[in-house]
Structure 1
Amino acid sequence: MSTPTPTIHGLSLTPLTQCAHWHSPLDIIAIKHFCCNKFYACISCHDACETHPSGVWPSDQRRERAVVCGACRHVLTIDEYLACGSKCTACGSGFNPGCKGHWGLYFEMDGEGVKG
């Protein structure tokens, strides 16, 4: 089943979804925000562009396709992203492993050892 390529929002976006805040060669994901169902390059872009606070995906919604690879535009489920080892499951492009430190800003982690 093919998923349509989502529109990515953010500040100073590159074709790989890097933004004004995160722009290393590994900063190539965008995350759909629970609060508004819009894909943003990062939470800082969301907060700069929206007037509402960011929401966190509940742990019972891990099958939601909510993370897009900026290299190939594959949309990963939350479970797929959390288990991918910082690489796209479709094209193998590397994601920033430091993003794990921010997972709690986007996803309910239920004491899984990662805090936002």
Structure 2
Amino acid sequence: MIILGNVIDEQGRCTHYSKKEDTISIKFKCCGAYYPCYKCHEENSNHKTQPWKQEDFDEKAIFCGVCKKDLTIHQYMNSTNCKHCHTLFNPNCSKHFHIYFETGHNSTCTF
């Protein structure tokens, strides 16, 4: 898997988010490319983020940098850890869900 952006290690951490729990990358709906975070996407692409629509939440768009396996958006949003390797997700990532995913509120939010 190629992860674009300001990646600093083999598990997909970036210059913006580098805690132990920061190991997932997200396939962006707008370009199909994987980035560790919206800031990396903003700094390294030439277009605005387009959030995934709720009807697309069965799409495998989350990549675990620890076990190197994909998760669906539903699996990611409804869990605190990877279903494959049980690595904990950073709970603060949910504060940015409205950027990546249509959540019913702020679904048109861009940064």
Structure 1 partner of 2:38: 43
Aligned AA (2:84) = A
Task: Give TM-score scaled by structure 1 length.
Answer: 0.87
Shift of 1:13: 2.7
CA–CA distance in structure 2, aligned partners of residues 104 and 12 of structure 1: 22
Secondary structure of the 1:9 match is coil
Out of 61, 69, 87, which is 1:66 matched to? Answer: 61
- RMSD over aligned CA atoms reads 1.5
Structure 1 partner of 2:21: 26
**Residues 10 and 65 in structure 2, CA contact (< 8 A), matched pair in contact too:** yes
Structure 1 partner of 2:93: 99
How high is the sequence identity, in percent, across the aligned residues? Answer: 33
List alignment gaps of at least 5 residues for structure 2.
none
CA–CA distance in structure 1, aligned partners of residues 8 and 71 of structure 2: 20
CA–CA distance in structure 1, aligned partners of residues 71 and 104 of structure 2: 20
Count of residue correspondences: 107
CA–CA distance in structure 2, aligned partners of residues 12 and 91 of structure 1: 21
List alignment gaps of at least 5 residues for structure 1.
1-5
